[in-house]
Every structure is written in structure tokens, then in C-alpha cells.
Amino acid sequence: MDPESPFDPEEPAEPVEVPFDMLSADALRGVIESFVLREGTDYGAREFTHEEKVAQVHTALSRGDARIYFDPATESITLRLKDQR
């Protein structure tokens, strides 16, 4: 290992933010759909269609109210709402 390198494979890597506009349209859609499907059932006053939920998440990303993260430890991507950490 290079002693000058900041990367240490022994240390768990922190998730890295991925700007949503750096993803292809298909990749972004896949990330959003995966998030929407994991979120489960609505319990509000009104049910939203899958497409409405996808649009809401896309809007949240555009506004900065949600962010996409890549976790190198698990090699997975997740979407977090602004108030989640």
C-alpha cells in the first residue's frame, strides 16, 4: 500500500454522496424506484400511485431535500431524505 494514499482498506469507508444529475436517466430511475418500493405502503389521507411517488422523490432530489449515497463497504446505493442520517 502507498503510504501517501488516504485510502486504508482496513478502515471502513464512509458512504459517498453521488450527485443525482451525474447518473444516467435509467440509473436514476432505478435508484428512485428501488427507494419507493422499499418505503412500503402509504398510511396518509391519500394513496399515491407508483409514478406519483417516483415524481415526488425526483422533485426532492432536485430541491436538495434528498440525496443519493454509495456505500463502498456494502457496494450499495441508498437514498436518504434530508432529515435522515
Residue 6: what are its φ and ψ, rounded to 5°?
A: -75, -10
How far from each other are the two terminal CA atoms of the chain, in whole angstroms? 32
pLDDT, one tens digit for every residue, the chain (85 residues): 455 655 556 666 889 999 999 999 999 999 999 999 887 666 667 888 899 999 999 999 999 999 999 999 899 998 988 875 5
Model pLDDT, residue 1: 47
Q: Classify residue 10: in a domain, yes or no.
A: no
Model pLDDT, residue 13: 80
Looking up residue 74, the CATH number of its domain turns out to be 1.10.10.610
CA atoms within 13 A on the CB side of 72: 11
For residues 5 and 41, give the distance between their C-alpha atoms in angstroms, rounded to a whole number: 45
Q: Classify residue 8: in a domain, yes or no.
A: no
Q: Classify residue 61: in a domain, yes or no.
A: yes
The total number of structural domains that make up the chain: 1
- The range of the structural domain enclosing residue 57 comes to 16-39+48-81
Model pLDDT, residue 72: 92
